[in-house]
Amino acid sequence: MALHRSTGVPQSTLSRILSGKIVDPSDRHISRIAEYFHISTDRLRGRDDSHLLSPTEPEQLHPELHDICLWDDDTPVAEDEVCIAFLRQVELAAGTGRFSIEESERARLRFGKRSLRHNGVEFDQAKCVTVRGDSMLPVLRDGATVGVNAGKRTIEEVIDGDLYAINHNGQLRVKQLYRLAGGIRLRSFNRDEYPDEDYGYSELEDEQLVILGHVFWWGMYAR
C-alpha cells in the first residue's frame, strides 16, 4: 500500500485508524499521515479552525464551551443567519444510470453570516453537499457535510490541494484538485484504494466534468 510504504505506519494500524477503531491515534502516526497528505496534524484531527469553522459561530482564538441551540424547520431564521440549500444527485429516469445535480427543495443547513463573510462567501453562492463513500477517509467520512462556495468554479481559481465539489457526468463528488500543465488532477485522501485521476482540458467536456465550487467548511458526526 502506498500510504503504508510512504509513512512507515503498519498496515494493521492504518486499517484500524481508517475504520475508526483507533479513536485517538498517536501523534507519531498522525504526523506521518498528515505529511503524506500535505495537511497539518490539526486539520487531520479536525482541530484546525481555519478549515472547520462552526456554522453558527465565528472563529475564536480562545474557544469556550457554549450551550447548544436547538432548531428545526419551523424555527424562524435569526437575523444573523442564512439557510443554505443542499445539492443532491438525482437519477434522470429510473434504471437509466444517468444523473443530474439539483438543489434540494427541503434540506437546509443554517450558517452564521459572519462566518460566511469571514471566508469570503457570498450568501447566495453558498451550497451544501453530503460526502458519500470512503474515498476521502480519514479526513471525511461517509455522510460528512461540506459547505461549498459556488462563486469559485473556474480552473484558474483552483488552489492546489484544496477540496472542491465536482459534477462529474451527473455524479456529485468531493475531491482535492491540482492544476496540471495541460489539465487537472482529482485526488482522494484514501489514495491506496482510489488512485489519482488526471484529465486534459480536451477531456473535461467529454467527461462532463464541472467544478461546482470550493469547499470552505465541513462537519461530521464522530461514529
CATH classification of the domain holding 190: 2.10.109.10
**Whether residue 35 is found in the same domain as residue 90:** no
User: What is the total count of domains within the chain?
Assistant: 2
**Boundaries of domain holding 18:** 1-48
Is residue 73 in some structural domain? no
**Whether residue 205 is found in the same domain as residue 102:** yes
- Kindly report, residue by residue over 39-52, the tens digit of the pLDDT: 777 777 666 545 44
- Kindly report, residue by residue over 167-181, the tens digit of the pLDDT: 999 899 999 999 999
Q: Does residue 8 sit in helix, strand or coil?
A: coil
Return the percentage of the chain with pLDDT > 90, whole number. Answer: 48
- Kindly report, residue by residue over 179-204, the tens digit of the pLDDT: 999 999 999 999 999 999 999 999 99
